[in-house]
Amino acid sequence: MSAKRRLLLHICCAPDATIPRRVLASEGFDVTGFFYGNNIHPRCEWVKRRDAVRKLSSLLGMEAEIAAYSPEEWFAVTERSRGEPEGGARCAACFELQLGAAARRAAAGDFGFLCTTLTISPHKNPDMINGIGRREAGAAGVEWVERIWRKGGGFRLSVIEGKKMNLFRQNYCGCAYSARSADENERTRRRSA
């Protein structure tokens, strides 16, 4: 397959990659996964997600690259906005780090295209993600493949596929701040049950 059809798929977690990988491959892209998890905390959570990406890669026969775990830059960039609600400036900074790393990797690896699984989540702003993706891909000289994967029941389908493959699925986006929020929500749910 020619280099111009090679696509690097930024993967936020294995279940969320099930549908995008299948669709992109059916469109003629040669898909390689890229897992960047410096936003994921604690490290044991990153390990679970990394291992799930490896499992998905093996099950699908898809190459997948795993970026080294180095959360220091993420903390430095998001420290100023740590008190912001989910979906605000902290998330934008996080998406910029993730998609910027993916764009640089795509350019260095001679991938002509870049896409992300982030837009499958019903909790994330797809316009924000695609805007950041276009900017980061453009700066790296790679073409952004804009998608909103949650359309048409994409998220529900990813849950079903993830269960069929027995892939680990998390209960929070991954960052330390969302982990605290998930813990607080669980405690509240238990108290009211």
For residues 71, 76, 81, 86, the Cα torsion angle rounded to the nearest 10 degrees is -10
% of the chain exceeding 70 in pLDDT:
91
Positive or negative, the Cα torsion across 104, 109, 114, 117? negative
For residues 155, 156, 160, 165, the Cα torsion angle rounded to the nearest 10 degrees is 10
Q: Which domains does the chain have, with CATH numbers?
A: 3-192 (3.40.50.620)
Please list the residues that pair with 143 across neighbouring strands: 113
The model's pLDDT over 63-122, given as tens digits with 9 standing for 90+, comes to: 999 999 999 999 999 888 877 878 888 999 999 999 999 999 999 999 999 999 999 999
- Which 3 state secondary structure label does DSSP give 94? helix
Would you say residue 187 has pLDDT above 50? no
Q: What are the DSSP E strand ranges found in the chain? A: 6-11, 30-35, 64-66, 113-116, 143-144
Mean pLDDT of 150-161: 97
pLDDT recorded at residue 108: 98
Rounded to whole angstroms, the Cα distance separating 161 from 98 reads 24
